[in-house]
Amino acid sequence: MPRHADPLLEAKIPDAAARLWKEGGEKVLTIRAIAEAAHTTTPSIYRRFKNRQEILRALLWRIRQDLLGVLQTCRSPQETSQRYVEFALRHPREYKLLSAHDFKPFGTGRRRSRAGQPSGSAADLMEAKLAEFLRRSPEDYKRLHLAVWALTHGTSMLLISRIVRDDYSPELLKSCEAAVQVLIKNASAFTTAK
């Protein structure tokens, strides 16, 4: 009897890649391992994805969507930065992948969706949260956005890489939160508006 195509396989492949990445990072993410984890064959994967890089792009898209899902519900820039760090610490391998491949947050020409919402990067979303909270244009607070991102990303990477002694970690988190509060309170010092 002929085998029937699995209509859910297109989603199972990135799911399997995500599980493998979470367990062991890039070294375990092979086409053969993905096929095994997705309960399929390597030819079936190649019929849907040209190569490992395409699977990696699908994985990056999924991680970005997960992070955006967390950040979109935040009601303030402070909460957004706090949830950003929490996401990074809960998903260290995914965050490293995202930051290595996906962060071009401050370049020109970022697209916005029709509704004016960010088109898909955490940086765009943070910029929009700042503008909403401070009732100004996102472009007015580019410097503030850079400062907040530098703090949250830097804190995340320091804690993920375990450079900071364990007994300093809680203090580093509190320091980051306090610094973001000060930056937001003094937002006018960071405006780029003319």
Q: What are the pLDDT digits (tens) for 11-56?
A: 888 899 999 988 888 888 899 999 999 999 999 999 889 998 898 8
Question: Does residue 112 sit in helix, strand or coil?
Answer: strand
The pLDDT of residue 151 is above 80: yes
Single-letter amino acid, residue 44: S
Question: Does residue 118 sit in helix, strand or coil?
Answer: strand
77 confidence band (pLDDT: 50, 70, 90): confident
Residue that is written with structure tokens 């760090």 in the block: 85
The pLDDT of residue 57 is above 70: yes
Residue that is written with structure tokens 């020109």 in the block: 108
pLDDT number for residue 152: 93
Residue 120 vs residues 61, 63, 68, 189: alpha-carbon distances, Å: 9, 11, 7, 28
- The CATH label, of 1.10.10.60, 3.40.50.1010, 1.20.120.530, 3.40.50.150, for the domain at 9-49 is 1.10.10.60
Mean pLDDT confidence for 113-135: 66
Residue that is written with structure tokens 């071009």 in the block: 104
Where does 17-175 show beta strands of DSSP type E? none
pLDDT number for residue 5: 65
Q: Select the more confidently predicted residue: 15 or 2.
A: 15
Residue ranges of the alpha helices (H) in 102-168?
A: 122-134, 142-161
114 confidence band (pLDDT: 50, 70, 90): very low
Mean pLDDT confidence for 137-146: 82
Q: Please tell me the pTM assigned to this model.
A: 0.79
Rounded distance between C-alpha atoms, residue 149 and residue 152, angstroms: 5
